[in-house]
Amino acid sequence: MTRRCGIWLALLASALVCQEPPAEKQPDPIELAARLPTDPHAATRLLHLGNKGVPALRSYLTGKLSWPEPQKAARHTSLLLLRDLAADGAAAIDDLVLCLDQPDWVPLRVELFTAIGAIGPYLERRAAISLAIGSRCGKGHYFGEEGFFRMISRLSFDATQEQLQLQNGLEHQNSWVRELAAEALARSLQATPANAARKNALLLALRTAFEADLPQTFQLTWTWDGNQANSGGSTDNHSQLLQALGLAIATLEPMAPESAFGQLRNLDHSDPVIRIEALRALGGLGATAAVAIPAMIKALQSDNVHVAREAATSLGLLGPLAKDARAALLEACKSTDKSLAARANAALRQSQQ
C-alpha cells in the first residue's frame, strides 16, 4: 500500500511540474489607449502589442469613441506611437490620410505627415497612398506645409528592400530618402544581424554617408490632382540624417562614436524603456555623448520619473562634460522623488569635479 502511494504521489508531482503556468492576461488595448495621458507604462505596453494595439490607437483618429478631454490630449502621443510602430501601424494608414483634412487635426498636421511617412514606405501600396494624398491637395492645400515634401519623398522609397539596396539608398540625391534608407537599414539589422564581412562593408558605407556632404536641395516628381508635378526646394534634415545613420551604426558597433547620434534619436522615442536604454548607452560613451546633452537635460525634466532618474545618472557619468546641465540638476535635487533627488545631487557633484 505504501509503495502504491509513493508511486501515485510521484506521478502527481510529475504532472504538476509538466503543467504550463497560467497564461498572463493580455492587456485590453482600448483600456491602454485611454490611459495614455496618465499611465507612463501604457505607451510601452501598446508598442509591445505591435499591430494588435493599432485598432485602439485608430480610435483616436476616427473619433468613434467619445474620449474625455484629458484623453483627447493624448492624440499627439497616439501619432508618436504609430510613427514608432512603422510597418506594424499599417492598419491606421487610411485613417491618418483622412485626418489631414479634419479641422481638429490641423494643429497636428506635421505629426500626421510624420506618421504617414514612417508607415507608408513599408507598404506595397505606398505609391497609391502618395497618389491619394496628391489628389486631396487641392482640397487641403497642405502641400506647402512643413513636413509635406519629406513625407512624399519617403513614400517614393521601398523601405522593405534587402540590406544591399537600402545601403545604396544612402547615396540618394534626396537627403530625406537617405535618412529613410539609414532608418530602414537600422530596423533591418536589428531583425537580421549582419555577418562579419557584411558588417565591415556596412560600417564603411554608413561612415562614408556620415561624413559626406549633404544635398542642400531636392527634386521630386509626384502626382498632384491627377497631374505629374515636379517640385524642388531646400532640405534641412542634416541632424536627423546623422541620427538615423548613428542608429544604424549603433546596431553594428554600439560603442562607436557615431552611435551617440543614434541614441540621441532614441531619446525621442515614444517608449520610455527605449529612452532609458538610450540614456544608459550615452552615459557610457564619454565625450562623444556631448551632442546629446541638451536632449538628456530635457529627459531629466521628463514627467516620467524613471526616465528622469536615468537621465540624472547618465549626466553624472559624463562628469564635467555635463556642466551645462547643472541648473537642471539643481532643480531636480528639489524633487519629491527621493531617488531622483539623490541621483541629481550625485550628478551635480560629479559635474563639478
> Is 123 in the same domain as 170?
no
> Is 167 in the same domain as 248?
yes
Q: Is residue 49 part of a domain?
A: yes
> Is 217 in the same domain as 126?
no
Instruction: Supply the range of the domain harboring residue 203.
Output: 157-258
Q: Across the chain, what does the average pLDDT equal? A: 88
How far, rounded to the nearest angstrom, does the alpha carbon of residue 130 sit from its chain's CA centroid?
22
Residue 156 grid coordinates? 517614393
**99-109 mean pLDDT:** 88
* Enclosing H/E stretch for 11: helix 2-18
User: The domain that contains 292 carries what CATH number?
Assistant: 1.25.10.10
- Residue-wise pLDDT for 228-242, tens only, equals 888 888 988 999 999
Q: Is residue 180 part of a domain?
A: yes
pLDDT of residue 328: 97
Q: Among residues 206, 228, 258, which one ends one of the domains?
A: 258
pLDDT of residue 11: 43
Residue 6 grid coordinates? 509513493
> Is 251 in the same domain as 192?
yes
> Is 284 in the same domain as 214?
no
**45-73 mean pLDDT:** 79
Q: Round to the nearest angstrom and report the end-to-end CA distance of the chain.
A: 77
d(CA 39, CA 57): 15
- Strand, helix or coil at 258? coil
d(CA 108, CA 33): 18
Q: Among residues 114, 147, 180, which one ends one of the domains?
A: 147
d(CA 156, CA 133): 13
d(CA 313, CA 322): 11
pLDDT of residue 65: 53
- Whole-model pTM: value is 0.88
Q: Is residue 2 part of a domain?
A: no
> Is 61 in the same domain as 126?
yes
- pLDDT category at 225 given cuts 50, 70, 90 is confident
d(CA 273, CA 44): 7
> Is 165 in the same domain as 116?
no
pLDDT at 334 over 50: yes
Q: Is residue 20 part of a domain?
A: no
DSSP conformational letter for 195: -
d(CA 116, CA 181): 16
Q: Is residue 7 part of a domain?
A: no
Is residue 301 within 8 A of residue 328, CB to CB? The reply is yes
> Is 335 in the same domain as 248?
no
Q: How many domains, in total, are found in the chain?
A: 3
Q: Is residue 263 part of a domain?
A: no
- pLDDT category at 59 given cuts 50, 70, 90 is confident
d(CA 95, CA 275): 28
How far, rounded to the nearest angstrom, does the alpha carbon of residue 211 sit from its chain's CA centroid?
24
Q: Is residue 10 part of a domain?
A: no
> Is 253 in the same domain as 277?
no
Burial (CB count within 10 angstroms: exposed 0-12, middle 13-18, buried 19+), residue 272 = buried
- Residue-wise pLDDT for 193-215, tens only, equals 999 999 999 999 999 999 999 88
Q: Among residues 113, 147, 181, which one ends one of the domains?
A: 147
